[in-house]
């Protein structure tokens, strides 16, 4: 049963003094998939990665990583994982090539020089390879850091916000590498604040809020949990409030305004909302219309809607376990 999951955690808890950073984290990441952990700042994403990568000990709960117990078999877990956090493990005095070579030798990788060259190439770092890493840009250092975590060909890779603050070139390169890794069968668990990144890379997404997984599913499944995004454009500002009242009633959601365009929109809670229904209701309310549209929700819409349904202090949110369908 555990062999099908590269990461399987149950009830992981971690406190820092008074702060409950994780309050029972349940995750199940199938082998060879990419799980995106998506959550606001302070949700517990980094704590989750640090626990699962054996860098912190859990206060309660258990986990198996690549078939090994996180606590009792921590050494075996460490041998099978790679981890890249936001603090780089690169030695700036050494060149990029020397850094990777050193990692390879430390971990007794066969052919460390060849492996270093291969990774430098894969991450677009060959040209700069023989300059000290301290002279590299932030994006290049982050790529080198990720390359270092791959020297040993880990079965499970943990990436904590791998592209936060990166230039578009480095981001695209890291996305490519992640896609390539999964094609080779590596399991990737990544945290991100970028919905687009989760949408692009993740097979399954776990929404984490206040130390718990509140929703899981594929990007498409999460999008299907909310209805369409409805928008109404009126000819003048005077009728915008009236249009908003209609939208509010039909969608059950707080409308948001774009005053420059005299537009008001809302993500519908009701997946059966249609344009004719909208137009009829607006017409009945005497709202003059320039345009009415319904478009599929983005992950942004989903995130706003689903985190809105998990208000502070409640515990009875959807409690599915798997970072999987």
Name the pairing type of β-strands 204-209 and 212-217: antiparallel
Rounded Cα distance, 214 and 210, in Å: 9
- Shortest Å, Cβ 99 to ligand ADP: 26
Interface with ligand ADP, residue 46, by CB under 6 A: yes
Identify the H or E element spanning 109. none
3-state class of 49 per DSSP? helix
Interface with ligand ADP, residue 27, by CB under 6 A: no
- Residue 10 token pair: 């149950």
Using CA of residue 221, residue 222, residue 227, residue 233, what is the dihedral sign?
negative
Which of 30, 36, 39, 255 is close enough to bind ligand ADP by CB under 6 A? 39
* Selection from 238, 236, 232, 280 nearest residue 257 by Cα: 232
Which of 33, 47, 149, 216 is close enough to bind ligand ADP by CB under 6 A? 47
* DSSP code at position 291: E
Which residue, 97 or 210, has its beta carbon nearer to ligand ADP?
210
- Shortest Å, Cβ 107 to Mg ion: 26
- Shortest Å, Cβ 195 to ligand ADP: 15
- Shortest Å, Cβ 44 to ligand ADP: 4
On whether the CB atoms of residues 21 and 207 are closer than 8 A, the answer is no
19 binds, among ligand ADP, Mg ion, none (CB under 5 to 8 A by kind): ligand ADP
- Shortest Å, Cβ 165 to Mg ion: 12
142 binds, among Mg ion, ligand ADP, none (CB under 5 to 8 A by kind): none
Within 28-47, which residues bind Mg ion (CB under 5 A)?
45-46
Identify the H or E element spanning 136. none
Give how many residues touch ligand ADP by CB under 6 A.
Answer: 11
On whether the CB atoms of residues 102 and 82 are closer than 8 A, the answer is no
Within 186-205, which residues bind Mg ion (CB under 5 A)?
none
Rounded Cα distance, 156 and 7, in Å: 8
Interface with ligand ADP, residue 21, by CB under 6 A: yes
Rounded Cα distance, 265 and 1, in Å: 46
Over the window 299 to 318, marking each residue x when it contacts Mg ion by CB under 5 A and - when it does not, the resulting string is --------------------
3-state class of 255 per DSSP? coil
On whether the CB atoms of residues 40 and 28 are closer than 8 A, the answer is no
85 binds, among ligand ADP, Mg ion, none (CB under 5 to 8 A by kind): none
- The one segment of 14-22, 65-73, 106-114, 238-246 that binds ligand ADP by CB under 6 A: 14-22
Interface with ligand ADP, residue 16, by CB under 6 A: yes
Phi, psi angle pair for 210, to nearest 5°: 50, 50
Residue ranges that bind ligand ADP, judged by CB under 6 A: 16, 19, 21, 39, 41-47
Residue ranges that bind Mg ion, judged by CB under 5 A: 45-46
């Amino acid at each position: 049963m555990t062999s099908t999951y590269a990461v399987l955690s149950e009830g992981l808890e971690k406190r820092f003094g008074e702060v409950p950073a994780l309050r029972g984290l349940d995750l199940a990441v199938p082998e060879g998939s990419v799980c995106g952990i998506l959550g606001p700042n302070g949700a517990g994403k980094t704590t989750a990665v640090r626990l699962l990568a054996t860098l912190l000990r859990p206060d309660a709960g258990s986990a198996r990583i690549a078939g090994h117990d996180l606590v009792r078999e921590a050494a075996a877990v460490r041998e099978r994982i790679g981890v890249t956090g936001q603090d780089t493990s690169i030695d700036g005095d050494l060149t990029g090539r020397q850094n990777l070579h050193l990692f390879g030798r430390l971990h007794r990788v066969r052919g460390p020089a060849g492996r270093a060259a291969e990774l430098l190439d894969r991450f677009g770092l060959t040209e700069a390879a023989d300059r000290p890493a301290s002279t590299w840009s932030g994006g290049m250092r982050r790529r080198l850091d990720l390359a270092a975590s791959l020297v040993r060909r880990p079965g499970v890779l943990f990436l904590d916000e791998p592209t936060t603050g990166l230039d578009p070139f480095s981001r695209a390169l890291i996305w490519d590498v992640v896609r390539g890794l999964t094609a080779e069968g590596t399991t990737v668990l990544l945290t991100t604040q970028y919905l687009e990144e989760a949408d692009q890379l993740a097979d399954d997404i776990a929404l984490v809020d206040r130390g718990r997984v509140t929703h899981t599913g594929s990007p498409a499944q999460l999008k299907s949990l909310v209805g369409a995004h409805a928008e109404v454009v009126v000819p003048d500002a005077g009728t915008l409030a009236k249009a908003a009242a209609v939208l509010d009633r039909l969608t059950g959601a707080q409308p948001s305004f774009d005053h420059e365009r005299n537009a008001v929109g809302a993500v519908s809670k009701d997946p059966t909302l249609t344009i004719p229904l909208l137009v009829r209701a607006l017409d009945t309310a005497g709202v003059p219309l320039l345009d009415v549209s319904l478009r599929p929700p983005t992950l942004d819409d989903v995130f706003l809607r689903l985190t809105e349904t998990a208000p502070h202090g409640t515990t009875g949110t959807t409690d599915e376990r798997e970072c999987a369908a």
